[in-house]
Amino acid sequence: MSKFTDYQFKPFLREAIEQLGFTSPTPIQKEMIPLILKGTNAIGQAHTGTGKSHSFLIPIVERLDEQKDELQAVITAPTRELAMQLFEELNKMIANTAIKSSLLIGGTDKQRAMDKLKSNPHIIVGTPGRIRDMAENKALAIHTASILVIDEADLAFDMGFIEDIDQFASKMPTDLEMYVFSATIPEKLKPFLSKYMESPVHVQIGDKKPLTEGMHYSLVPVRSMDRKKKLLHIVQSINPYLAIIFTNTKQNADQLADYLADQGIKAGRIHGDLSPRERTRMMKQVRDLDYQFIVATDLAARGIDIPGVSHVINYELPDDLEFFIHRVGRTARAGLEGNAITLYEPSEDDKIVQIEKLGIPFVHEDVKNGEWFEVKERNARKKRVKETDDLDRKAASYVRKPDKVKPGYKKKMTKEMEKFKKRERRLKRKNGK
């Protein structure tokens, strides 16, 4: 199907899709919607920003039977913010129907949530822990739901929620349909998937999209300067629409946000130690553009969709380099350009080499007095030595030892080799290599 109007959706859903401004399905939607409409277990592997939320929301809403007074579909998200975003999108599609929905997340009134479930929602969206809690308290009739969606499954695994999902999934029908969406499929997640999914269709989208598209990757040496001070110089030299500064720990995120505040730079913060109320308030402020800078940890930021990010700053390199890809994927979306700035020290060279192997084309740059300029590559000397060694080997194979040697032949060979190397260097310069 090349357009949404080609699908035979119910009138209310066609109208809702039109109001959302959708005309043609994205690649993940084109693949997943028919599978979910047919009830075929599937894994959708795609990064955030590819339209994957609607690739399951649209077909599930199409299949809901509002005449049946029972729970039919369960959608899990690893963070409250992500669950709230999904719930918001779901309600846009069912606004003019009798379909009932509920949001089950921590940090909200538990009794009120239990009371609402008495009306038997047709579909629920929630975090794994709260859904498990409601199912175990018999407030949620999980046994009637035949569809389960696990969104951001790799993040759910990282955050330790797979056990919660396993607990309530085991109470669902034996012919349970499962749809798993994830940016990556970690090896440790596979036993769980094989327990509930027999030969699922694996849809992988976005693999061919180059990481370099619309992106500029700056690699900035910290050198002898204090890391915080170097960050301050960077922050003062850019004027982002919105920049996310990534740290590896909650403590570092707080310290960095406090440091920036002391320097007169207002920065929001997103990490796991914020209370539900603080997180909700922070996300509202971010969406209202109260901040130009946000300091965040990987796990907290991955479960949140933050629009309009123009810059990503890696204050620290992540221990798991897969997170580097998640970080820089926050910007350069929807055809826009993006900037990823990474601070590094010589001791981190091994990590930089590994990141370069992932296809990241770093540009070695520095900033001084608000001005950006290119600097020598960190391994420029190594490269020169290697080039010299290569040229020596090439010259040695070109200038051969004569069959009959005469006095002074070594001197003559050395002279020929130097002439050969000069010619090679000249050719290289001429070709701009």
What is the pLDDT averaged over residues 77-95?
91
Residues 226, 357 share a domain: yes
Q: Is 16 inside any structural domain? A: yes
Residue 405 lies in a domain: yes
Q: For all residues of the chain together, what is the average pLDDT? A: 87
Q: What is the pLDDT of residue 158?
A: 80
Same domain as 27, residue 42: yes
Where among 144, 169, 204 does a domain terminate?
204
Closest CA to 112 of 132, 94, 134: 134
Number of continuous H segments (helices) and E segments (strands) in the chain:
17, 15
Which pLDDT value is given to residue 389? 62
- For residue range 359-394, what is the model confidence (pLDDT) as tens digits? 889 999 999 998 999 998 876 544 444 455 666 777
d(CA 41, CA 177) in angstroms, rounded, equals: 6
Decide which of 15 and 289 is more confident: 15
Asked if the structure places residue 209 within a domain, the reply is no
Task: For residue range 334-365, list pLDDT tens digits in order.
Answer: 667 889 999 999 899 989 999 988 888 999 99
Q: Which of 332, 354, 374 is the last residue of a domain?
A: 374
Same domain, 280 and 187: no
Domain-embedded: residue 264: yes
- In the listed set 204, 230, 260, which residue is the last one of a domain according to the structure? 204
Q: Is residue 414 part of a domain?
A: yes
Domains in the chain, number: 3
Token duo for residue 40? 């075929």
- Which has more pLDDT, 194 or 406? 194
Residue 94: pLDDT band with limits 50, 70, 90: very high
With contact defined as beta carbons under 8 Å apart, do 19 and 95 qualify? no
Same domain? 368 vs 400: no
Residue 156 lies in a domain: yes
Tell whether 43 and 146 lie within a shared domain.
Answer: yes
The C-alpha atoms of residue 60 and residue 65 are separated, in whole angstroms, by 10
Domain span at residue 410?
Answer: 380-430
Whether residues 25 and 166 share a domain: the answer is yes
- Position 357 scores a pLDDT of 85
Same domain, 199 and 344: no
Instruction: Note the pLDDT tens digit of each residue in 37-47.
Output: 999 999 999 87
Put simply, whether the predicted model's pTM sits higher than 0.75 gets the answer no
Tell me which H or E stretch contains 350: helix 349-357
Instruction: For the chain, give the percent of residues with pLDDT over 90.
Output: 56
SS3 411: helix
CATH number at residue 341: 3.40.50.300
In what helix (H) or strand (E) does residue 47 lie, and over which residues does it extend?
none
pLDDT at site 1: 72
Q: Which of 124-128, 259-263, 283-287, 335-339 has the lowest mean pLDDT?
A: 335-339
Considering the domain architecture, whether residues 406 and 423 belong to the same structural domain is answered as yes
- Do 267 and 192 belong to one domain? no
Task: Determine the Cα–Cα distance for residues 430 and 151; give it in Å rounded to an integer.
Answer: 54
Helix residue spans in 263-348 (DSSP H): 276-287, 298-302, 322-328
Which residues are CB-neighbours of 161 under 8 A, at least 6 positions away? 76, 78, 127, 128, 129
Output the pLDDT for position 385: 46
Q: Is residue 424 part of a domain?
A: yes
How much is the pLDDT for 208? 44
Indicate whether 113 and 222 sit together in one domain: no
In a domain, 210, yes or no: no
Structure tokens at 74: 């369960």
Within this chain, do residues 197 and 302 fall inside the same structural domain, yes or no?
A: no
Same domain for 288 and 410, yes or no, is no
